[in-house]
Amino acid sequence: MSFACPVGDQRLVLDQVVRMPELAKSNRFAEASVDTVDALLHAAAEFAEGELAPLNEVGDREKSRWNDGDVTTPGGFREAYAKFVEGGWMGLSAPVEWGGQGLPHSLTAVMMEDFNAANLAFALCPMLGLGAIEALEAHGSEELKREYLPKMISGEWIATMNLTEPQAGSDVGALKSRAVAGPDDSWRVTGNKIFITWGEHDLTGNIVHMVLARTRGAPEGTKGISLFLVPKVLPGGERNDLQCVSLEHKLGIHASPTCVMAYGEQGGATGWLVGDELAGMRAMFTMMNNARLNVGLQGVGLAERATQRAVSYALERKQGQRAGLPMRIADHPDVRRMLVRMRALTMAARALAYYAFGQVDRDTLGDREAGLRADVLTPLVKAWCTDVGCEVASLGVQVHGGMGYVEETGAAQHLRDARIAPIYEGTNGIQAADFVSRKIGLDDGLALDGLLADVRAEAQHEQLIALADAVEVLVTSAREAEPNDRLAGSYALMTMTAVLTAGWLMERLGRAIDSGESDSNCGRRAAIEYFLSVIVPEALGLGAAVEAGAELLFRAPAEDLA
Ligand SMILES: Cc1cc2nc3c(=O)[nH]c(=O)nc-3n(C[C@H](O)[C@H](O)[C@H](O)COP(=O)(O)OP(=O)(O)OC[C@H]3O[C@@H](n4cnc5c(N)ncnc54)[C@H](O)[C@@H]3O)c2cc1C
Q: 198, 227, 427: which to mutate for ligand 1, most atoms within 8 A of CB?
A: 427
Pairing of strands 318-322, 325-328: antiparallel
* Contact 424 CB / ligand 1 (< 6 Å): yes
Query: Are the beta carbons of 503 and 484 closer than 8 angstroms?
Result: no
**According to the model, what pLDDT value does residue 147 have?**
97
Distance from chain centroid for Cα 112 = 9
Atom of ligand 1 nearest to the CA of 162: 11
Atom nearest to 432 CA in ligand 1: 43
Alpha-carbon torsion (273, 274, 278, 280), positive or negative: negative
Residues annotated as catalytic (active site), given as ranges: 425
Please report how many Cα atoms fall inside a 13 Å half-sphere around the Cα of residue 189, on the Cβ side: 31
Closest-CA residue, ligand 1 atom 40, reads: 430
CA of 169 to the centre of ligand 1 (A): 5
CA 68 to ligand 1 centroid distance, Å: 27
Ligand 1 geometric centre to CA of 167 (Å): 11
Query: Residue 421 has what pLDDT?
Result: 98
Identify each DSSP E strand in 248-317 by its residue range.
Answer: 258-263, 269-273
Distance of CA 194 from the midpoint of ligand 1 (Å): 11
Cα 558 to averaged position of ligand 1 atoms, centre (Å): 21
For ligand 1, say whether the CB of 250 is within 6 Å of any of its atoms.
yes
pLDDT at 141: 97
Q: State the helix-helix crossing angle for 490-514 and 333-364, rounded to 10 degrees.
A: 90
Ligand 1 site, residue 423, Cβ cutoff 6 A = yes
Nearest CA to ligand 1 atom 32: 170
What pLDDT sits at residue 517? 80
129 lines ligand 1 (CB under 6 A): no
**Ligand 1 pocket mutation, candidates 128, 172, 195, criterion most atoms within 8 A of CB:** 195
Give the model's pLDDT for residue 562. 97
Q: Give me ligand 1 centre to Cα 164, in Å.
A: 8
Tens place of pLDDT per residue across the chain (562 aa): 789 999 999 999 999 999 999 999 999 999 999 999 999 999 999 999 999 999 999 999 999 999 999 999 999 999 999 999 999 999 999 999 999 999 999 999 999 999 999 999 999 999 999 999 999 999 999 999 999 999 999 999 999 999 999 999 999 999 999 999 999 999 999 999 999 999 999 999 999 999 999 999 999 999 999 999 999 999 999 999 999 999 999 999 999 999 999 999 999 999 999 999 999 999 998 888 999 999 999 999 999 999 999 999 999 999 999 999 999 999 999 999 999 999 999 999 999 999 999 999 999 999 999 999 999 999 999 999 999 999 999 999 999 999 999 999 999 999 999 999 999 999 999 999 999 999 999 999 999 999 999 999 999 999 999 999 999 999 999 999 999 999 999 999 999 999 999 999 999 999 999 998 877 778 999 999 999 999 999 999 999 999 999 999 999 999 999 9
Q: Are 342 and 278 in contact (CB under 8 A)?
A: no
Does the C-beta of 135 come closer than 6 Å to ligand 1? Answer: no
Is the Cβ atom of 272 under 6 angstroms away from ligand 1? no
Ligand 1: which of 285, 424, 486, 554 to mutate, judged by most atoms within 8 Å of the beta carbon?
424
Query: For residue 250, which atom of ligand 1 is closest to its CA?
Result: 1
Task: Tell me, using a 6 A CB cutoff, whether residue 335 lines ligand 1.
Answer: no
Distance 162 CA to ligand 1 centre (A): 12
With a 6 Å cutoff on the Cβ, whether 54 touches ligand 1 is no
Tell me, what's the pLDDT at 533?
98
Distant-in-sequence, close-in-space partners of 447: CB < 8 Å, separation ≥ 6: 369, 372, 373, 375, 376, 439
Predicted pLDDT at 516:
86
Tell whether ligand 1 has an atom less than 6 A from the beta carbon of residue 427. Answer: yes
Instruction: Measure the CA–CA gap between 519 and 192, rounded to whole angstroms.
Output: 53
Q: 430 CB less than 6 Å from ligand 1?
A: yes
Rounded-to-integer distance, Cα 378 and Cα 376, Å: 6
